[in-house]
Structure 1
Amino acid sequence: MKRFVLRGFYTAALLFTSTFALTSCDSSADEEATFSLTDNGVFILNEGNFGTPNGSVSYYHKGTEQFELDVFGKNNDDQLLGDVVQSMKYFDGRFFIVLNNSNKIEIVDHETFKSEGVVQGLQQPRYFVASTNGKGYVTEWVTYGSRGRVSVIDLATYTVIKTIQVGFMPEQLLISNGKLYVANGGDNTLSVINTATDAVENTLQVTNGPSELVLDKNNQIWILSAGKVVYKDDWSGIDYTKTTPGALSRLSLTNMAVEATYTVPSNQSIPKNLSINGAGDKLYFNYQDKTYVHPIAASALSTTVVLNRSFYGMEVDPETGNIFGSDENGFSGDGTVFIYSPAGTKLKEFKAGIAPNGFVFN
């Protein structure tokens, strides 16, 4: 459920310090250590099994290499988080955890991870962002085969105050200069919403299947599109005579136009897991079972391979440049997290929860 391909930093002031007993993920260290969830670490999002509320959030402390499996359950009286942890976003001292099949957003305090509230009544929610005017936005697929929507959330009451119809199967979204950009993964458009009026003011055409967005240091949006996947009439496999390849595109926010589109060489592999480094000048993505790095100044699609493997989920640490990737291990038991240096040297691997699909850096 993590990503749509036709298949199923934080700046808040620390007001107080709360410590947690964490058990090492290194079998050579048996003693317990205590530290705050606001320390230098990484939250790992574990989807769990579809149809079962066993999604979780893990925490990995980068300095001590200590690990905590289920920070939500351990700080909320063993309460289950929900069904399919899709994504998580930080804003104003809180984490907003999107639960796709539970149709809700769980809001937790970023220091204690205790629940502060829930946004209920969503329909297949995917990704969340917040603006400085007290509103949050979440993409929802609603119903397969119909146009999706963005719900506007009052961050004081955690209630939906408006819905905005967008394209089919909307995925990632981001805010820049008062505009909300929504990737409509089920078609070939990007919806542009004015956050003052909460109305769609523009619809831009891009390559089929746009799903992932990042903002670079030049205030340009990069869009990773999966392409259009077409199945055979008997659903026995993909019809590659009709399937289109994916692409990496650059959108200028100055003239609101796609200025460059770099189409991948083959329609038989779907590009995924777009991430950007802390300096905002290098993009990373998976394609054909490899991990590529693409400088934003490049005039053609990069062929530079950092790793001869791809991942279920992947993000680049904005502080160190290390690559965090995951393997869902067939959704059977715990998944595996890998850490690689920017040059591609393997630094560490350890088990996380079921189907780790993403990382949020503290």
Structure 2
Amino acid sequence: MNRLKQLFGKFGMVFLLLFFISACMDDNPPIPLGEFEKGVLIMNEGAFGANDGEVFHYDPSSGEIKANIFESKNGRPFAGLLQDMVAAEGRLYLVANTGKVEIVDPRDFASMGAVSSGLDISRSIVAANEKLYISDWGPYDANFNSPDSYIAVVESLNGGEISQKIPVSSRPEGMFMVGNQLLVACTAGQKLDVISLNTDEKTKSLEVAGRPTGFFEAEGRLYLFARDGENVFFHEINKSSVEVIGTVTVNLPLSTSNFALMGNGEMLIITSTGWPDYNDAIARVSLSNGQVLNASVFTGSGLYGIGFHKDRGEIYVTDNNGFQGNGTVIILNKEGQQQKTFVAGRGPSGFKFN
């Protein structure tokens, strides 16, 4: 009998221990994803003058589309031309090239703040050291040039007033943070500018071939994307020295700055004849050797934004429909065969895949 009691006692202790562990685990259950933290966010630029930029949400599993999610959540229109959409520090930054930044909670799109004054033609944003750095063309001069471009500094991740404007080369676009340095692609200046995040001062300005627009990483390497009328340039950047250590040149006339990484060392780039014909195509190129693998994976008129959904192996491309009414999202397989289309907002121009 005593042995039986001892046996039950041991099992009882084990049971209590397992119950205690289970209870502790239940105290910290996984936090469910918010409504807009999964699926695809579609950035709709909006039409000049109407300033009707907005964000749509698309669920690839169900096919459900939710329109104008900023206005739906906050009870007011976005009221700007949406230029960029950047996730950082638990926030989603919506940059309008009409001179403002809206900051939302990526879970439900509730407003968390804004930068609503002091900007001119804002292009993109980076969060670093509890600050915001916003690239801005600055005001046009009499000839519509941009001699007074800058990076605006805001001292809070939730926006507010601009504390400083750091002068940079003409027409800064995309940025990339490496250690304590901020790299800035300056399109009109054809420069790669470098800003110290310790002093908030420009420390270096490198001339590059083509008009640089943005940075991307592939297989652990950092590249600066640039182009001219005939070629696309992939400038490889040494992350330590911030110097150009090599350039892959792709002979791709009529290229635009709209591109997407596919993986496996390949990239998709939209080409366009421009006004008035707008004979557009998606080219697939090799990042390693600059070879054009397929100059016309898909063709159309008004192709505007592009993205690649790695998990689903699908190409997403947009048709702006001449900004006459709403645009269209076209989903293709890797080979460029059309799988699905649906209506988006005015001037759909980019995607964020969650």
Specify the alignment match of 1:59 in structure 2. 57
Matched, 1:249 2:234: yes
In the alignment, structure 1 residue 284 sits paired with structure 2 residue 268: yes
Which of 197, 203, 206 is matched with 2:205 structurally?
Answer: 203
**Cα offsets for 1:253-301 (capped at 9, x unmatched):** 15512511415354xx233312223x47322212253222233322x34
Flag structure 1 segments of 5+ consecutive residues without an equivalent.
1-12, 19-35, 228-243
Alignment RMSD? 2.2
Tell me, yes or no, if the aligned pair for 2:212 and 2:224 is still in contact at 8 Å: no
Aligned-residue sequence identity (percent) comes to 25
| 2:312 equivalent among 317, 320, 335 | 320
More helix by share: 2
Aligned counterparts of 1:356 and 1:68: Cα–Cα separation in 2: 14
Instruction: Provide TM-score, normalisation by structure 2.
Output: 0.80
The amino acid across from 2:320 in the alignment is E
Does the 8 Å contact 1:137/1:152 carry over to 2? Answer: yes
Distance apart, 1:320 and its partner CA:
2.8
2:126 to 126, 129, 141: 129
In the alignment, what sits opposite 1:262?
Answer: 249
Shift of 1:247: 2.2
Runs of 4+ in structure 1 deviating by more than 6 angstroms, as ranges, are none
Q: What amino acid maps onto 1:282 in structure 2?
A: E
TM-score, normalised via structure 1 length? 0.79
* Residues 286 and 293, structure 2, Cα contact 8 Å, conserved in 1: no
Larger displacement relative to structure 2 (153-162 or 202-211): 153-162
Tell me the number of residue pairs that the alignment of Structure 1 and Structure 2 aligns. 308
- One-letter code aligned to 1:51: G
Partner of 2:153: 152
Alignment of 1:85-164 (within 5 A): 85-101=82-98, 103-121=99-117, 122-131=119-128, 133-144=129-140, 145=145, 146-156=147-157, 158-159=159-160, 160-164=162-166
Distance 2:334 2:314 in 1: 5
Q: Which has the larger radius of gyration?
A: 2
1: distance between equivalents of 2:123 and 2:264?
A: 24
What is the aligned partner in structure 2 of residue 38 from structure 1? Answer: 37
